Amino acid sequence: MEDSLPVNVREYQKLAKKALPKMHYDYINGGADDEYTLRENIAAYGRILLRPRVLIDVSKIDMSTSLLGYNMPSPIIVAPTGAHKLANPEGEVATARAAAACNTIMVLSFSSSCRIEEVASSCDAIRFYQLYMCKRRDVSAALVQRAESLGFKALVLTVDRPVLGRREADIRNKMISPRFVNLEGLMSLDKDIDSAEGGSKLERFSRETLDPSLSWKDVEWLKSITSLPILLKGIITAEDARKAVEAGVSGVILSNHGGRQLDYAPATISALEEVVKAVEGSVPVLVDGGIRRGTDVLKALALGAKAVMVGRPVLYGLAARGEAGARHVIEMLNKELELAMALCGCRSVAEVTRAHVQTEGDGIR
């Protein structure tokens, strides 16, 4: 068994595809419309080259960093993704244990298929809670209070999904809406959602439950009901990054939702420098989307990210080998980053600089 372990994220993706029903694999893997942004998130990393320095003693590599005051052994954290039970029956509890084993932060999704309480008690770890804004603000407030009282350390408000992107695979597959266990008891959920006619049932849930009127004043509101730091996830322009800083958030997560929302939004790595410049160091900038290699992480750090989040890779691991697979994916990415740093002559995260990458815009130095 040990001999046949996958050696990279792409091999895990292949195993996940074999392991899952088509409807579930398509849900995890797919993106919006033409899937341009989905492809571009990955392809744009391929156009950035590394500029290594040699004859530096790299016998010790320190990948550690910190986020909002929490120390982490590496800058790779787990992105919020919904419905982990579609990948493995243990769901988010398995992912949480995998993240905890790697001492990394997991951002638990609003759409998790395990109850928040169950995940919180599954193991000891630093966790953040991701929120979508519900039409019923009392429901959002109740979720925030639950996360806060269960020891979650920050809120991640996802702002790039006022309405659901059009995911054609889910429409074609008549994707069944996963159960939103954390909303049970807080609001009446449509029992008929799975027998609704036509399209993806997820779309109908989103339309009925989530609030398309979400605006900057709701960020104010969220600040007024919690003492937790708030990060905004789904910013992709300098304009919005500046507004986020003005709104007093504690961090910006540069994301296009893994290409699942607005198609033809730029690849996140292409927008990173613009966003980092706009926030002028006032808050940390995280980036997600398309990270499949340790070298991708190094490129993101070089262009100014404080940390990165990985979404699908963890789900591939979970689908292929449960908790052990999710853990192995994080460990592999950590190992790959360590190797890339050594080969680039960077002994610490602080030593990774803009001069270690060459982007298309740089031309020849």
Closest CA to 349 of 360, 340, 359, 362: 340
- 321 in a labelled binding site: no
User: How near is the Cβ of 195 to ligand FNR at its closest, in Å?
Assistant: 23
Contact 49, 299 (CB under 8 A): no
**Binding residue per annotation — 258?**
no
Based on the shown chain and the rule CB under 6 A, indicate whether residue 31 belongs to the binding site for ligand FNR.
no
Q: Is 304 flagged in the annotation as binding?
A: no
For residue 255, state whether it binds ligand FNR (rule: CB under 6 A): yes
**Tokens representing residue 248 in the block:** 């007093």
Contact flag: residue 177 with ligand FNR (CB under 6 A): no
* Contact call for residue 111 and ligand FNR (CB under 6 A): yes
Please indicate if the annotation marks 316 as binding a ligand.
Answer: no
Bridge partners (DSSP) of residue 309 are: 77, 288
Q: Give 256 or 359: the residue with its C-beta nearer to ligand FNR.
A: 256
Name the residue with the smallest CB distance to ligand FNR. Answer: 311
Angle between helices 137-149 and 216-225 (to 10 degrees): 40
**Among 81, 95, 270, 358, which residue interacts with ligand FNR (rule: CB under 6 A)?**
81
Pattern 228-247, binding to ligand FNR, x per CB under 6 A? -----x--------------
- 261 interacts with ligand FNR by CB under 6 A: no
Any catalytic annotation for residue 84?
Answer: no
**Does 41 engage in binding with ligand FNR (CB under 6 A)?**
yes
Q: How many CB atoms lie within 10 A of CB 285?
A: 27
Which residue, among 122, 19, 41, has the nearest Cα to 311 in the 3D structure?
41
Q: Which is nearer to ligand FNR, 79 or 249 (by Cβ)?
A: 79
Residues in the chain: 365
Alpha-carbon separation of residue 94 from 127, 161, 292 (angstroms): 14, 26, 21
- Of the ranges 4-12, 65-73, 118-126, 252-260, which one interacts with ligand FNR (CB under 6 A)? 252-260
Report the residue number, 165 or 347, with the smaller CB distance to ligand FNR.
165
Query: Among residues 312, 321, 327, 347, which is the contact residue for ligand FNR, using CB under 6 A?
Result: 312
**CA 134 → CA 141, 143, 161, 221, distances in Å?**
9, 10, 11, 13
CA 170/CA 30 separation, integer angstroms: 8
Q: Does 130 bind ligand FNR (CB under 6 A)?
A: yes
Nearer to ligand FNR, 257 or 306 (CB): 257
Residue count, binding to ligand FNR (CB under 6 A)? 23
- Considering only residues 9, 16, 20, 28, which one is a binding residue for ligand FNR as defined by CB under 6 A? 28
Residues within window 47-66 making contact with ligand FNR, judged by CB under 6 A: none
Cβ pair 52, 356 in contact under 8 A: yes
Q: Which is nearer to ligand FNR, 56 or 172 (CB)?
A: 172
CB 2 → ligand FNR: shortest distance, Å? 27
> Which segment (49-57, 70-78, 79-87, 329-337) binds ligand FNR by CB under 6 A?
79-87
**What distance in Å separates the CA atoms of residue 326 and residue 231, rounded to the nearest whole number?**
24
**Residue 311 makes contact with ligand FNR by CB under 6 A:** yes
Cβ-based neighbours of 242, under 8 Å, separated by 6 or more: 278, 279
CA angle 135, 83, 288 (to 5 degrees): 85
What percent helix, strand, coil does the chain show, rounded to 5?
Answer: 45, 15, 40
C-alpha distances in angstroms, 337 versus 287, 299, 358? 16, 10, 18
Least Cα distance to 114 among 131, 95, 91, 97 occurs for: 91
- Residue among 24, 257, 328, 356 flagged as catalytic: 257
Q: Footprint of ligand FNR on this chain (CB under 6 A)? A: 28, 41, 79-82, 109-111, 130, 158, 233, 255, 257-258, 260, 288-291, 310-312
- Tell me the catalytic residues: 257
Known binding residues are 27, 80-82, 109, 130, 132, 158, 167, 233, 255, 257, 260, 288-292, 311-312
Known binding residues for FMN are 80-82, 109, 130, 158, 233, 255, 288-292, 311-312
